[in-house]
Structure 1
Amino acid sequence: MSVSLHLALSFADAWESVLLPWFETATPAARENRAPVAVVTPYRSHAQLLRKKLLEQGISLLGVRFFTPPQLREVLQGSHTPAAPLREHLRLFLSVAANRCAVDFETAGSTEAARIARAVARDPDALLRAIDDAASAGATFAELTSPALGEIAR
């Protein structure tokens, strides 16, 4: 199995020098079922454009699968791997948790912690990246941060 990445300055350049020649050699292998052919495009609209251009050239797409990155992640995870939560869901959960913690901190009279929690609720991305960094370093975020942020992340 070979994997390749090609970069081009424009679609027209890529079409003539990379895409069309690659599809001309890869699709017969897909039809003969020798090897799976997967094409990853950033957006579905790019895949639709490629399909249209390939069909105009008379190239069969039988056995060729087009994926966007989220679709490819689902396929590669398979049914036995626990699903990784989407980033958008993590942002939402963190924002909701921060709002709840802000209310709890205000009730307890901790105004500084409540301000921190409100800031996280408005924009949870920075805290989410910090949690990811701590996890990739092999530590828990609660060990490395202030009690207020540790409570939100917990």
Structure 2
Amino acid sequence: MSTDDTVRDLLLVMPRLVGRVKRLPVPEELRAFDLAPRHLSMLSLLLLDGPLTVKELAGMLRLAPTTVSLIVSDLSRKGVLVRREDDADRRRRIIDISASSRPAIAQWLSPGAQAWRHALAPLSPAQQQMFVDTLLRYEHAVEARED
């Protein structure tokens, strides 16, 4: 298979993939919160990795800590996230999904994580990393065209 054949396949599958993800219904409990993609990434990390600090979230999301702090404040005011003191360092705040929001968020986002696990399962860790790196290079190439 040539690179052009692969590109053709990707150009056909990517819009279908994005379309399916966009059609996932937002649970009723979360609709009023007007969640944006940046919120979903943060919620996914907290769902997968558990409670994290703003600094940890910022590093994982590749955003400035001040940006993450603003998102956390917004979602905290809405009752989606909770902040608590870190027992080891009282100056730090630990961010987590609120108990009342966790079931709806898990119901909504867990199927996507499961689908990725299924898709990546046949690949070795090195192949999985190459896949992620390829998607990131694609993202950067598209971004460069926008600039």
What interval of TM-score do these two structures reach, taking the shorter chain for normalisation? Answer: under 0.3
More strand by share: 2
Q: What's the TM-score once normalised by structure 1's chain length? A: 0.26
Find the structure with the greater CA-based Rg: 1
Give the alignment's TM-score, normalised by structure 2. Answer: 0.26
Q: Which has the higher contact order (CA 8 A, sep 6+)?
A: 2
